Structure 1
Amino acid sequence: MDKTEIVIAGDTPGAEWRIPVLKVVGKDPKAPKVYMQAALHAGELPGVAALHFLVPMLQTAEAKGEILGDITIVPRANPIGAAQWINGEMEGRFDLASRANFNRDYPHVGLEARESLLSDLENLSTVDQLKRHLLHMATGSDLMLDLHCDDESQLYTYVHEAYWPQATDLAESMGLEAVLLSDGNSSAFEDSVTYAWEHGPLGNRKHWAEGRISITMEFRGTADVDPVLGRMDAEGLYAFLQRRGAIAGAPIRREEFDGPVAGLDFVQMVNSPAAGMVLFEREYGETVEKGDLLATIVTTPGDVSGDRQVLSPTDGTIVTRVGRRFLRRGDNLMKIASRELSGAKRKPGGGLED
């Protein structure tokens, strides 16, 4: 396994950033190429733990000659966000200088223009340099896994509808609990990779999704970082790569996927009707019916007349919950995967939230 670093020039004199890149060269040029990264939102660490335990497994497989396709791993993709601390708290989701989300505003370029991502970098901001380097690596793969996590949530994934139901093998290998289908219209990393593949050489566009996958996988919540989960997730990733032919050997088998599958327009964003303390009545992963009590917002502690009840707007499964217990009016409380169209408006760029 080779280790290199991508060096990114900072926006001020004397500053630079380094991104570690691990790579194993496969022995079969026809096998799928793999790209995996974690902590693009720098404080989201469950995926980092999974890759930490996956790397020794890959090194063992490499020694046995079982790595078939090239595998590239960026275990900590965002050193810029990891260095942003305010009053003892990391801000790893947004760039402080520009307020840009580290997982938004990626350029949409066709596959034949891939090398243009690395041109004129000296005239780009540090954040844009980071995004272009990562996107350049990812678009050269066939299997792209971007590992994130939510506040409190099930193990679930966002996946372009063109990859479903072929991506059931990922759901089964990982033990996913929910799948959210996207339309590819956002500027997030996964959709920008998909755009490049979809806009490949003329004559090869009809079957662009075959044998490929580009996903954002949410590895539960921010606090779900421990060796048991890390090893289990590493085993799931390894099994998926075996099933797709990037690694030789028989994969471990897990239960068939039977969780909810919902398009983004069928995800109900339940927001807080008032500012106050949150008392959740239901856990993520639970099935709810329309009208069920989800939470109580305590607006005036000591005066129950100020309590505001939050009822479920639909039947469905609670996929995520917010991690904070004090919210402003309009802050998101939960995401519910349902079978009816959501009344919520998608954010500019096609995502569910900023």
Structure 2
Amino acid sequence: MDTSEIIISGDTAGIEWRVPVLRFKGSDSSAPKIHIQAALHANELPGTALVHFLCEMLRKAESAGQIRSDITIIPHANPVGAAQSHFGELQGRFDLGTRTNFNREFPLISVKERDGLVANLSRYDAVDRLKRQLMHMALGCDLVIDLHCDDESLQYAYIDDAFWPEASDLASALDMEAVLLSDGESSAFEEAVGFAWKHETAGEKKTQLPGKLSVTVELRGGSDVYPDLAKKDAEGLFKFLAKRGAIDAAVTLSPFTGPAVPLDNVEMIRAPEAGTVLFHRNLGDQVSEGDLLATIITRPGMPDGTVEVRAPQAGLVLTRTSSRLVRRRADLMKIACKTASKAERKAGTLEN
């Protein structure tokens, strides 16, 4: 394993950021090149724990001469966000300087414009320089895996239609409980990478990208950082890499049997009023139309001081907020359904 660093000078004097990059050299130039990164949202750490144990496995495979692919791993992709706390609480999702989501505003370019990402980097602020260098590395690869987590959540992934159903092997290897099929219409990291591949030829847009993959994996919830889970996920990702020919190891994967639904089929359950949330349904529950999902105490102690939140249609409770005091219109749950939501949804991501 070789190690290096991306060094990003700060936007104020005396500051610089260092991003460790771990590389395993493959023996087969025809094998798919791999890019794995974690904690682009700096406070989402299940992926960092996963790659810690994955690197142990890869070092053993390296010693045994089993690494066929060039594999690049960035265990914590966002030191800028990791240094940003507000009143003692790590933020991680939004840059405090610009209020921009660290996983948005990646350049939407053709893969042929890849080298332009790192040309004249001094023109950009620190966060944009970080984003451009991460994307430049990813576009030199074939399989790109961006490890995130949700708030309280089952294990699932956002996978562009262009990679499905080929990517069902990743869902199987990581024992995912659902897949959300995205439309590739946002500037999030994995969608920007997919955009570059799909628009390789000017005036054309590919709808299928066999042999390629750019994916956001949601490794359960933000507090699900445990050695047993991280080791299990590392073993699953190792199996996926072996299945795709990156590692010389025999693996068998069962077919993925979970739901794979378009983003239009996800019901975003939001709080109709502000107050204290009492959940009646847990992660993984199958609910029916009209089922009581939560009660919000809007006026504590008053006879008319609660509001009920019910399921608009049947589906799987995929995520839930960890907050129990919510504002009006705050996200409470995601429910993956068999049919489209009646609520309007803009193209792109489900949340900011």
What TM-score, normalized to structure 1? 0.96
Aligned position for 1:352: 350
**Local SS of the residue matching 1:50:** helix
Aligned counterparts, 1:93-112, within 5 A: 93-112=93-112
- Count of matched residue pairs: 352
Aligned position for 1:117: 117
1:21 to 1:131, Cα distance in 2 relative to 1, 3 A: same
Whichever residue aligns with residue 223 of structure 1, its letter is S
Q: Confirm or deny that 1:84 pairs with 2:72.
A: no
Q: Using the alignment, how far apart are the partners of 1:207 and 1:96 within structure 2?
A: 36
What's the CA shift for 1:204?
Answer: 11
**Local SS of the residue matching 1:305:** coil
**Local SS of the residue matching 1:99:** coil
Aligned position for 2:312: 313
Aligned position for 1:325: 324
The 10-residue stretch of structure 1 (299-308 or 287-296) with the greater mean CA deviation from structure 2: 299-308
**Local SS of the residue matching 1:248:** coil
Q: CA RMSD in A?
A: 1.6
What's the CA shift for 1:256?
Answer: 3.1
Aligned position for 1:69: 69
What's the CA shift for 1:345?
Answer: 3.6
**Local SS of the residue matching 2:232:** helix
What's the CA shift for 1:303?
Answer: 2.3
What's the CA shift for 1:92?
Answer: 0.1
Structure 1 stretches of 5 or more lacking a match?
none
Aligned position for 2:164: 164
Q: Using the alignment, how far apart are the partners of 1:4 and 1:205 within structure 2?
A: 35
Q: Confirm or deny that 1:176 pairs with 2:182.
A: no
Aligned position for 1:341: 340
Instruction: Decide whether the 8 Å contact of 1:200 with 1:208 is kept in 2.
Output: no
Whichever residue aligns with residue 300 of structure 1, its letter is R
Whichever residue aligns with residue 83 of structure 1, its letter is A
Instruction: Decide whether the 8 Å contact of 2:287 with 2:316 is kept in 1.
Output: yes
Aligned position for 2:48: 48
Instruction: Decide whether the 8 Å contact of 2:162 with 2:207 is kept in 1.
Output: no
Aligned position for 1:28: 28
What's the CA shift for 1:224?
Answer: 0.4
1:208 to 1:293, Cα distance in 2 relative to 1, 3 A: closer
1:117 to 1:5, Cα distance in 2 relative to 1, 3 A: same
What TM-score, normalized to structure 2? 0.97
**Local SS of the residue matching 2:304:** helix
Whichever residue aligns with residue 261 of structure 1, its letter is A
Instruction: Decide whether the 8 Å contact of 1:161 with 1:182 is kept in 2.
Output: yes
1:207 to 1:296, Cα distance in 2 relative to 1, 3 A: closer
1:32 to 1:307, Cα distance in 2 relative to 1, 3 A: same
**Local SS of the residue matching 1:27:** coil
Q: Using the alignment, how far apart are the partners of 1:207 and 1:263 within structure 2?
A: 15
The 10-residue stretch of structure 1 (32-41 or 294-303) with the greater mean CA deviation from structure 2: 294-303
What's the CA shift for 1:309?
Answer: 0.5
Instruction: Decide whether the 8 Å contact of 1:346 with 1:353 is kept in 2.
Output: no
**Local SS of the residue matching 1:295:** strand
What's the CA shift for 1:200?
Answer: 2.4
What's the CA shift for 1:104?
Answer: 0.4
The 10-residue stretch of structure 1 (102-111 or 199-208) with the greater mean CA deviation from structure 2: 199-208
**Local SS of the residue matching 2:20:** strand
Instruction: Decide whether the 8 Å contact of 2:50 with 2:231 is kept in 1.
Output: yes
1:94 to 1:196, Cα distance in 2 relative to 1, 3 A: same
Instruction: Decide whether the 8 Å contact of 2:44 with 2:149 is kept in 1.
Output: yes
Percentage of pairs with the same residue: 53
Whichever residue aligns with residue 178 of structure 1, its letter is A
Whichever residue aligns with residue 97 of structure 2, its letter is A
1:302 to 1:207, Cα distance in 2 relative to 1, 3 A: closer
Structure 2 stretches of 5 or more lacking a match?
none
Instruction: Decide whether the 8 Å contact of 2:162 with 2:208 is kept in 1.
Output: no
